[in-house]
Amino acid sequence: MCRDGGRDALISGNETWDLVDAPKGVKLIGCRWVYKVKYNTDISINRYKAQLVEKGYTQQHDIDYNETFAPVAKMTTARVLLAVAATKGWHLHQMDVKNAFPQGELEEQLYMVQPPVFQSGMNTSVICRLKKSLYKLKQAPCAWNMKITQRMRRMGFAPLKSDTSLFVQSSQSRPISILLYVDDLVIAGADLGEINCVKSQLAASLLPRD
C-alpha cells in the first residue's frame, strides 16, 4: 500500500478510510503489514517496501463482499496489438499504476481494525471504516477494474466487446489503444503527442509511473 515508509499517505493522501466509533455488532476485518526488499538487477538493494494487506480470508459472501470478478487481458489480444503496432510503426509506452488496488472505491460497508503502526499515540477505541479497497480484499480486483474503466470512459475510450481489457479511442483521427493487464497499461498509437496527453490525464487521477 505504501512505499519507502510513506505510511501517512494511507490516511491523508489516498483517503483510504475514516476513523469512526465502532457500531454495535459490527464485524471487524484484520490487517497486517507485509515487508519486502526490492533489488536492482545487480542484486543491490533498491528500496524497502511496506504494504498493508487485509485478512481477506475472514470475509463472508453477501456480508463483506459480493462481486469479485475482474477481467484480465487475453494474451491473444496483447499479441495482436503488438503486431499491429509493429506493422504500422506505432509508438508503444508501458505504464505501471502505483498502488492500483487501493484506488478502487468500495460499495460495501467494511470496518477494519487500526493498523498496528497507527495504534500508538492514537485513540485505540475507534476503528477504520474503509472507503477504498486494500490488497487481499476479495473485491479489490473488481473495485479497481471498475475505477479504471470509468476513468477510461471519461477520457473517451471504449472497451472492445471481444476483450473488455482493450480500450480504443476511435474518435481521434489517429486512434490510440490502451491494453490493461491488472495494473499495467500498454499504450499504442501513431501520434506521440496524443500518447503523452493521455499519460498526463492518467497521471492526474491514477498516479501511474513509467
The residues, ordered by sequence, that sit 6+ positions from 57 with a Cβ below 8 Å of its Cβ are none
Q: How confident is the model at residue 13 (pLDDT cuts 50, 70, 90)?
A: low
Indicate the length of the chain as a whole number: 210
- Name the amino acid, one letter, at 107: E
Q: What is the CA radius of gyration of the chain?
A: 19
Contact 125, 113 (CB under 8 A): no
pLDDT digits (tens, 9 = 90+) for 158-189: 999 999 999 998 666 678 999 999 989 999 99
Output the nine-digit C-alpha cell for 120.
500508538
The Cα–Cα gap between 79 and 50 comes to 34
Say whether pTM exceeds 0.95.
no
Contact 127, 113 (CB under 8 A): yes
pLDDT digits (tens, 9 = 90+) for 89-103: 999 999 988 888 888
Q: b/e map of 89-121 (b: 16 or more CB within 10 Å)?
A: ebeebebebebbbbbbebebebbbbbbeebeee
Please report the pLDDT score of residue 1 as a whole number. Answer: 34
Output the nine-digit C-alpha cell for 44.
543491490
Contact 177, 77 (CB under 8 A): no
Output the nine-digit C-alpha cell for 186.
500498454
Q: SS3 of 103, please?
A: helix
- Which residues share a beta bridge with 38? 47
Please report the pLDDT score of residue 7 as a whole number. Answer: 44
The Cα–Cα gap between 149 and 157 comes to 9
Residue 165 has a CB neighbour count (10 Å cut-off) of 21
Q: How confident is the model at residue 203 (pLDDT cuts 50, 70, 90)?
A: confident
pLDDT digits (tens, 9 = 90+) for 47-84: 998 889 999 999 988 888 888 999 999 999 999 999 99
The residues, ordered by sequence, that sit 6+ positions from 51 with a Cβ below 8 Å of its Cβ are 1, 2, 33, 34, 35, 36, 135
Angle in degrees, 0-180, between the axes of helices 192-206 and 140-154, rounded to the nearest 10: 130
